[in-house]
Amino acid sequence: MRLLKRNLTEFTYTALEGKTEILKDGKRTGRFELSYSEPVPYEGNISTPSGLAQQQLFGIDTRYSHVLLMEGPETDIRIDGLIQWKGKTYEIRAIRPSLNVLSIALMERLPGDV
């Protein structure tokens, strides 16, 4: 199965680079700040999930709002990164490669989420 070029949409991916502990007055707080790489542009088909087949693809307990389909199972996208699309930020909940397509479950990240 190949994705149609007209259905592809542009999005950016930022990889998690690391975390640094937040200090207050030189003392450890137990809180961390995450640092991400520069956004890298990609193309894929992002759609709202529907139907039983997609729900079973990622499992019953996985919560996600969109499914991203990309051609080819090989990519640098990892589960700890973030996707930016249409001015919103999405967490990657699950990644399922198949023979020709990579399926990624996305959940919108609300303001204030860490």
All structural domains of the chain: 5-108 (2.40.10)
**Residue 107 token pair:** 């959940």
What average pLDDT does this structure show over 76-105?
A: 90
Amino acid 112: pLDDT:
65
Residue 64 has pLDDT above 70, yes or no: yes
| Tens-digit pLDDT profile for residues 2-57 | 677 788 889 999 999 998 888 888 888 888 888 899 999 999 998 865 545 555 66
Question: Which residues, 6+ apart, have CB-to-CB distance to 70 below 8 Å?
Answer: 3, 42, 43, 44, 45, 77, 101, 102, 104
Task: Of 33, 48, 54, 65, give the one whose Cα is nearest residue 101.
Answer: 54
Amino acid 113: pLDDT:
65
